[in-house]
Each structure stands twice: as C-alpha cells, then as structure tokens.
Structure 1
Amino acid sequence: MNSMYRILIVDDEPFIVNGLADLCERSEHLNLEIHKAYSASEALSWLKRTKMDIVLSDIKMPGMSGLALQKEIVKLWPHCKVIFLTGYDDFSYIQEAIREGSVDYILKTEGNDAVLKAIEKTMVLLDQELAADSLIARARENLRMALPFLQQQYMLELLQRAPGRTRREELEQRFRELDMKLVDDKPCLVLLCRVDSWSHLGGPAAQPLLLYAVQNITSELLAPMTVSMSVEYGRSKLIWMLQYKGDQSAHRLTRENEPIEDRVKRFVHGMLEQIQETCKSLLKLKTSFALAGEWTPWEHLSDKFEDLKYLMDSGLGIGHEVLLTETMTINRPESQRDIGRSRMHLKRMDLLRGCLENGDKEEFLKLFREVTDASCFPPEYEHLLKMEVYYGLVSVFMPPIVELESICQVVEGGETVDYIRLTHLEEHDSWTEAISYFTRLAEVIFGQKEQGKQDQQHEVIAKVKAYIEEHLAGDLSLTQIGEAVGHNPSYLSRLYKQVTGEGLSESINAARLAKAKQLLAETSEKIHVIAAAVGFSSPPYFYRFFKKTTHLTPQEYRELQNR
C-alpha cells in the first residue's frame, strides 16, 4: 500500500474520535491523511470541501445517522469506502449498511486491532481499484472510443507534411497503434470533395451533420471495391484516401488481365456522378469532386493533396457540381507545385504558436528549423516565400512579447526589442540574421516563462511555509493547506516535493519539532500544553514523536537544555 489516502473519522463522542485518530497516527505504515468530525453534519461539511477515500463512522448518531451520512457520501464521492462502528449488534443495521455499499463494520467492543485490520483491508481494496491492470483496461476502452478521431488527426497531419518527411517505419508503427482500416504498404487513390452550396435545412448548425452524411454516402457507394477513410478540412471540404480491396500486392491482375488498380480507379470515377446526385436528392447539397489520376504512395500524399486543391480551386474547378480528374485538365505547373510544397511549412505556424504558449522549447526549436529552412524554396519565388514565413513568425511571436512585458527590457547584450526591426524583414541584413533574431527572441520568451513559473512556484512554497508556522496548533492537513493557498492538495504535495526536495509532511513535522524544542527550552509550560501548541491532541503521541526524532523524551530534552 504505497498510496496516501484520506480518512475521515466520525463519532459524536470526542474521546472515540481522538482515540481512533491517535491509533491511525501511530500506525505510520498506513500512510493516511487523517481528518476528524464530531457529528454527521460536520462530516458532511468536510465531504463538501474535499474528496475522502475512507470514512470510519459511528452507525448511530444524534441527528443524522451514519446510514443517512452514507447515502450522502455515495452522492458526493462514489468511490469512497465506508467502515461503520457500532455498539449495537443489530443485524438490521448491519444489513442495511451492506446493502447501501458499506465495505465493513466493526463492533466497538472488538478493539483497535479490528479497526486497523478493517482500514488495511479497505486500503487494499482501494489499491486494487487503482491497479495498473484496471487503469490500462479503461484506457484501452477510452482509446477504442477515441480511435476514429485519432485516426483522422493523423491523416490530416500526413496531408499537411512537407514531402519526404514521412518515414516508412513511422507509418507502420502509427497504423498499427491506431488500428487503421487502411494499410501502410499500399498506395491510395485520393478523392477531394467540396460542398458548393448549403441547403437551408437546419441552418449553419446542421452543416457538420450534413458533411458527415456526405462522408457516409460516398463511403457506402464506393464500398464494393474500396476501403476508405475520410477527413474534413476547412468548412466545406472533405478528402478521401481510397485503397482497393483484396490482395495487397501491387498490379494484381483481374480475370480480364487488367490491373486491379485500373479497374478500381474506373469504378470510383464512374460512381462520382451517382454520389453527386444522391447528395443533391437526399441532402439538398450541390457538391464537386476532384479525383487523383494516379495511385499515390503515403510518402507523397501531401503533394497529391496540393495538386487536387489546385485543380479544384482554379480553371474548371471554379464552379458548381464539377467532376474532375487530373487527366481532364492541365496539371499544376511545377513552379506552383514548388510553392505549394514550400507553403507546407506555413501550416506549422499554429504548432509553433502552441509550443511557445506551452513552454515546449525543444519541440518549438525543431519545428522552427523546419519552417525557416529556405533550401526548399524555389529560387524564383524565394523572396516571396521568405516574406510569408517571416510575417507568419511575427504573428507567432507578437502575442507572447506583448504578454511578457519584461521581454521589452532586454533581448541580449542590452539590446531592447525594436518593433520596427521585428515587423520588417528588410531591417535585417540577411535571412540568416533574421532567423537568428527570432531565435534570440524565442530564447528570451522561454527564459521569461520558465522564470515566471519558478517565481510562482517559490511564492506558493513561501505561502505554505508561512501558513505552517502560523498554524502549528491547528489543522495542517494537506486539504486545509491547499485551501489556504488556493491549490489542489495533490498538486500542492507534488509541487512542494519537486521544489524543496522534501515531502510536505516532513516539513510540518520539522516545524513542529523546532517549535516544541523552543518551547521546552525557553518556557516552563507543561508538556501536554506544549504538545497541544504544536498540533498534537494526544500527549502520548507527542512523546512518541519527540522520542523517535530526538532519541530523548521531552522532559529529558528540557533538562539537557537547562543545565
């Protein structure tokens, strides 16, 4: 049992609550954060403040009974386990407790060993529920439900990659991980669809549903010969990656000695008119389609995507209810192809923006190098493409510069941010110098973000330490400290350990010990008064704590200091 759990001890008799709390505190192997309540209403107040893992409660109490409290626990924290204490060997109470989901019950006459065994048993049950196997099983189920979305996101990524940046090994691994219907070692026939005009059915809110219907109609009508996958891009466009069914070997011949690729391509082309008519009659949508003229390997998918977009957005593609294939019109000029490839980098601006916002320096620099690599720019359009990239970067960098006002103080060597220089490419002597300038800005932005993070962390730790010093005699539970400094208790515990190198409970114990030593050495207060002053409701527990830590009893320490 490695996890720390919160336990709430509830009874209307304070000596029972305090005694059980002392028992749990002495049983350090249980790793419990202990809370106390002297009535069901006080317990309910605690439960509304923070999550509890275990509630150890009297079954009969004035006002709200333990059974009534249990019903509220189930509503607030369904995973919380309840152990009932009862002085009544009454089967009807025990039966109702079990029916409502109680983990265990203990007669008050059974003693401390029975209480500890019940708590240990409950903690084992909690551990089992959090066990890796069950979490993995739930993760697998969640992944299964999310697979269609993840598959589409990966397809969009492949469509927007620069040519040559997709490795066969990666494709094989990702297709396997995402359980793709398509296969990585078989080429695709790419089909582009554009909704030319929207029907008035349902208004704008219905557009996603209508696009989904177009996807279903197209996939169903092409299903006899193809396996397909479609993704949405833009507001009114869809793209399909189609593969022929059957044997995966390339150029397999049909019975008519015709390559299967040719037969399937002819089938898809022939079905486009029916798909168009079906969308028009059933959905009241006018649609246009552009079909690739060749089967395309995955490595060149982004190139083919750009070719089809060019085909759809120029010449014969400008119109309504168009049916095009690459062989029906002039292919995209090589110069336009080069520009399209280069502009692939611009699609990574959003990724760069996200990395900058999230402080992901390593991924940012990797993407930045790709985006600013001018070696892929065709010479005749190099200057125009550099301008596109440069001003795209200005849009990425400007928000964090404005946000981090201190960035305006210094960039490097006393040089302040010059907004004229930042927003004008011609202010730089060369492309290399301009990119170096952005690199320095990125270093400062990441540095400021990291410094801001550290400053906030240390501010939180300072608040925690101050709260501990001021409330040594009070509630220093993780929950109470978290509420005091405005942070989730679990996160606060991790943060404290990360920043200080020691656990929060160790720091609390150290503060209590230091204060106890001071009071023992400088005052003549009785030991039980000092114990209460440093947060120990049980003097015997204070004795054990002090002796274990210093190897001296409190009295021995006092006598040693007063010699």
Structure 2
Amino acid sequence: MYRMMIVDDEEIITDGLAVIFGKMDLGLDIYKAYSGQEALELLHRTRVDIVLSDICMPEMDGLELMEHIRRSWPQCKIVFLTGHSDFNYVYQAIQAPGVQYVLKNEGYPKLIEAVKRALQELKDTMQVNDLIRQSKEQLNTLETLAQGDYFRHLIHSVKVDQEVAEDFSRLRIPLDASLPVLIALGSISDSESPRTYSDRQETALAVKFLSEKLLKERTVSLGVIDRYGDLIWLIQPERSRDLDRAETFEQLGKFLEGTFELIQQACRESLEVGMAITLSAEEFQWARLPMLYDKARQVQHYRAGDGEQMVQRVNLNEAAAPDPVRDRFLRDKVDTLAAHLEAGRKEEFLRLFGEMAGPAGQDRGRCNPYLTELYYTIALMLMSYINRWEADEAVGVSSLMQLEVHRTLGEAFRYLRDTAELLFSVRKSGEQKRAAGVIDTLCLYIEENLTRDLSLVRLSDVIHFNPSYLSRLFKQERGINLSEYIEDMRIRQAKDLLKRGELKVAEVGSLIGYVTPQSFTRVFKKWTGTTPQEYRTDMLSG
C-alpha cells in the first residue's frame, strides 16, 4: 500500500481532496496536514510516497517542504497545486525530478491524472525484472560469492576478528570497519508451492540487488544471504551527510523502516513472496555482530502474527541473549532441518525428514548405529526447540531421549515426526496468541485515549510496528478495519454521554476526539442514522 499526504493550509481543500481520493480505488493510504510544519512532522515519523501540496503556504512553502522531502524520502513523488501567478515557484519546481504541477483551476480530473502518473512512476521504480536478470548474471561472480562467504563466516564466528579492515578492502566491501553498523534481518516466506534451493537463492539475490538500489540513496550498505536462506543487511549512514551522529541514526532508522516496506511490497508484487524485517534500533561495534545477529533471529521468531509486511525496530542490546549452544547442531542435514523448523517451512522439513528417516522403515530392530546416532541428533535438535519455545507441556518430552521405549526404529522415527508436527502447531499457535495480545493492548489504549491522536501513524508508534503491518494485523484479528473500530468506540461513548444529558452536543463531540461539531454530527449520523441531538431527544423522552 502506497501512502499519499495532502498538504494545504486551507482545511476545506485538504479535507475535500482527502474525501475524493479516499473514495477512489488507487491503493493509497491518505494522510492530511494543514501546514508545511505539520507535514514535516509526519515525514519524520513515517514513509510517504506521494505528496500533494499547495505551493504557496505561510511559514513553510511548498519548495522548502520539497527540500525536506528530498532529504528524508528520495523516492517520494510530488504534485504541486499552483495558481497562474506562481510562475517563479513553478519554474523552480519543474527543475526537480519526480515533481509535477497542476493549476488550481484545471479541476479534479487533471489532479487525479497527475496522482495516477506519480503512482505509476512509483510502481515502475519498484519493478524488479531487470534486477532479477542482474542477479542471475552476478550469481557466479567472485565478488558476490566471496562477500557472502566472508560474512557468513563472520556472523557464525564465536569471536569476530578485530582486524577486519584489511578483509573489507580485499573483498571490495564498501562498509567502514572502524565505524559502528546497523543490522537488519529479512526472513523470506515461500509461497504455497515449495521452492527449490536455486529458486530461493535466486529470489534472495533479487531482493538483495533491489534493496541495494533503494538503500544507496542515503546509506552505505551490503546485503548477504545467511545459512538459513535469509537476508542480512549491514548498514551505515552515507558518509557525506554532515549531521549530528544521534540525529543521523534516528533519521536513518525512519528511512530504513519506510524503504524496507517498499522492498516488501516489491517482493509481494513481483516475486510473490513475503518478508518479515527485524531492524536494529541502535548502532553497534563489529565485534558484537555474532551476538546481535543471533538476537535478531530470536526476536524475529517471537513476533506477533506471521510477520509478513512487518518491519520492527528493536533495541538488540537490551534483548535477552540466546543460548549459542542451541544454534549449533551436530549434522549438516539436521542443520537444514533446524533451518526449516526455525522458518516455519513445514513441507520442506517433512520432505527432508522423510529422506533422512527412510532407512529406518526397513530396519526391524534398534541396533543400527547410524540410525541410532541420527535419532538422537534429531531428538536433541527437537528438544532444543521445545525448550527455547517453552513448549514442553504442549509437546511432551518424557520419552524423546529414550530410544529404548520404541519397539522399532521405524516407530521411533514416526514419533520424531509427530513431535516435529506438534512443534509446528505450537509455533503457529504462539504467533496467533502474541498477535491477539498485541491487539488487546492496542484496543485498551484506544479505549483510554479516545480524545487523543489515534491516527495509524500514532498507534504504530505505541505498538512499535510499521503502520501497514499494524493495520493488516488488526483486520486479521478483529475482522474490521482499525479506523472503523476507533469510530465505533467513539460512537459508543458518545451515546453514553448523550443519554446522561449533562453536556452539550458540541462538548460531547470534543470530549471523544472530534475537532468540530460538524464532524461529530456527520460521523454520528453516518453510524446511527440520526443526529446526536435527535438521539438525545429520543433517549430522554423514552
């Protein structure tokens, strides 16, 4: 979903345009701002893809706003509303790429056409067909492979070598080994049909090259594929940006959150895969990379919902440290089993398990040393995940490490398979419970803060999810849109206050968050079929 912000110091124009575009099926989330400064505050809080703005406004005009947009969201498209007398403004605006202007007297069709054109430009930018072709061409290049191998070694090392600058230089890694770094972890979820290893590798590389194209606007970054087939991005601010360091990383965090949403959208539309993103909220030294990577994987597992379209920023320094022993398994194939279990790829897990356990079905006894070793290796891996996910009551472990209780090896491996399937169920149930808990917390906050700002951007700050994922998660859990739930809560409270008869109608509207009496009356009538005054009269007379 793309986001459009409408900016005009005349409230009637802003609200009118919001209504018009809100009724159109353009795939746009609409935001409103009544001044350049208010627009700037929103731009600092979330990604905006299209800005529709008056060019002449007091305090901060459209051109000054455009400069802020260019610094914060380089991919954003701008449509200016102008008058005939604004020639000097227009002349400056049309020199900038991605900017259109529409005369105010040209009417709505011309304006709608300009917005559609901006939307198409955005979609064209996000097409990844050329990037897929590039990824195929670069798949076997020494540079790509060498960089990936090096960082896979680095993130799985017990201790990172302090002398990494020389390695970076030799491998043409653009990052600075002397400066702190941010880490982002992207877990790609497959479509319903299982994908081969080469399919997943090709998809991951396409995402890697797309992300590098978008992230280079404001960062120095490198994406690599880890041993689970997930993507890791190592990111530093663009060195030419001469800003206060704390401010730089805070602004960078918002830029990354919005840019990764665009990457997720491209993945869904062009590659037909979803991706959950976990992004470190603070910088750290290279020596801490292995620990912070393991923490990012652990945090991503304990997420609310399925994670698709999720971008969560997490203070990894404060996250609980994972037990590194549980991330190291005895056999390569069991490593792959663990990766499938970790990522929730049930069909691939069961297919590989069937290949590994196939000989057990032909062995009638329990004395095959290889199969005995294999049994305990898989059992130990399952035990590790049962403990980590605190699933011992749901799964049961009483006989997991007791091969002798099974009559045959075939029976023993069927028991392991059943245990694994229970673990997959526990995983899905845990995601659903955490999602329900998050939404319950959100609903309580809404109920207690009906008079405050309850915009999607504000609520996403409260829950620490990006707006689009929060909206999707709420609809999944409650079956209605978040905005509808908020209006329903406000109308419920309004009815209660109107029944009491203690406050004027305008006071009731203000008390539940409506700025003007007209807005309150309009929304109340839309929901109930009667005006607030008519409702009060009916209740009191009855």
**Do both proteins adopt the same fold according to a TM-score greater than 0.5, normalized to the shorter chain?**
yes
Counterpart in 1 of 2:96? Answer: 100
1:454-533 equivalent positions in 2, closer than 5 A: 454-533=432-511
Given candidates 393, 398, 411, the residue that maps to 2:383 is: 398
Say which SS state the counterpart of residue 99 (structure 1) adopts: coil
Deviations 1:185-236 (A, max 9, x none): xxxxxxxxxxxxxxxxx99889989xxxxxxxxxxxxxxxxxxxxx9xxxxx
How far apart, CA to CA, are the structure 1 residues paired with 2:427 and 2:472?
20
Q: Name the SS of the counterpart of 1:372 in structure 2.
A: helix
The answer as to 2:352 corresponding to 1:367 is yes
Instruction: After TM superposition, list the pairs within 5 Å mapping 1:160-559 onto structure 2.
Output: 347-374=332-359, 383-405=368-390, 407-409=391-393, 411=395, 416-418=396-398, 421-423=399-401, 425-426=403-404, 428-559=406-537
What secondary structure is seen at the aligned counterpart in 2 of 1:103?
Answer: strand
Name the amino acid aligned to 1:20.
I
Report the CA distance shift for 1:410/1:34 in structure 2 as closer, same or farther (over 3 A): closer
Mean Cα displacement is larger for which, 371-380 or 527-536? 371-380
Partner of 2:273: none
Distance 1:375 1:207 in 2: 48
Displacement after TM superposition at 1:63 (Å): 4.8
Change (3 A) 1:149 1:100: closer
CA offset at residue 356 of structure 1? 1.1
Tell whether the 8 Å contact from 1:44 to 1:69 is kept in structure 2 after alignment: yes
Alpha-carbon distance in structure 1 between the residues aligned to 2:536 and 2:72: 48
Structure 1 residue 506 displacement after superposition: 1.9
Identity level (%): 35
Aligned to 2:129: 140
Residues 21 and 34, structure 1, Cα contact 8 Å, conserved in 2: no
Aligned residue identity for 1:409: E
Q: SS at the partner of 1:475?
A: coil
Shift of 1:83: 3.5
* Residue among 80, 84, 90 paired with 1:84: 80
| Alpha carbons of structure 1 residues 105 and 486: separation in structure 2 relative to 1, 3 Å | same
Partner of residue 123, structure 1:
115
2:36 matched residue in structure 1: 40
Deviation of residue 393 (structure 1)? Answer: 1.0
Normalised to the residue count of structure 1, the TM-score between the two structures is 0.56
3-state DSSP of counterpart to 2:116:
helix
Contact 1:54/1:81 (8 A) holds in 2: yes
Cα offset for 1:502? 1.5
* AA matched with 1:70: M
Partner residue in 2 for 1:23: 16
Partners of 1:365 and 1:409 lie apart in 2 by: 23
> Is the CA contact 1:71–1:100 (under 8 Å) kept in the aligned structure 2?
no
CA distance in 2, matches of 1:460, 1:481: 12
Distance 1:8 1:483, change over 3 A: farther
**Which secondary structure state, in structure 2, belongs to the residue aligned with residue 409 of structure 1?**
helix
Gaps of 5+ in 2: 142-164, 173-197, 199-330
Q: How has the CA–CA distance of structure 1 residues 497 and 450 changed in structure 2, closer, same or farther, with 3 Å as cutoff?
A: same
> Which letter does structure 2 place at the counterpart of 1:103?
Q
CA distance in 2, matches of 1:468, 1:118: 39
**Highest Rg: 1 or 2?**
1
- Tell me the CA shift for residue 139 of structure 1: 2.4
In the alignment, structure 1 segments of 5+ residues that lack a partner are 153-201, 210-230, 232-345
Corresponding residue pairs, total = 359
Does the aligned pair in 2 maintain the 1:104–1:118 contact within 8 Å? no
Matched-pair contact (CA < 8 Å) for 1:30–1:120: no
Partner Cα separation in structure 2 for residue 68 and residue 130 of structure 1: 22
2:82, 2:101 within 8 Å by CA — same for their partners in 1?
A: no
Counterpart residue type for residue 101 of structure 2: D
Q: What secondary structure is seen at the aligned counterpart in 2 of 1:356?
A: helix
> What is the TM-score when the length of structure 2 is the normalising length?
0.58
- Three-state SS of the structure 2 residue aligned to 1:474 is coil
Give the conservation status (yes or no) of the 8 Å contact 1:528–1:539.
yes
- Per the TM alignment, residue 130 of structure 1 is displaced from its structure 2 partner at its CA by 5.2
Q: State whether residues 54 and 82 of structure 1, in contact with CA within 8 Å, keep that contact through their aligned partners in structure 2.
A: yes
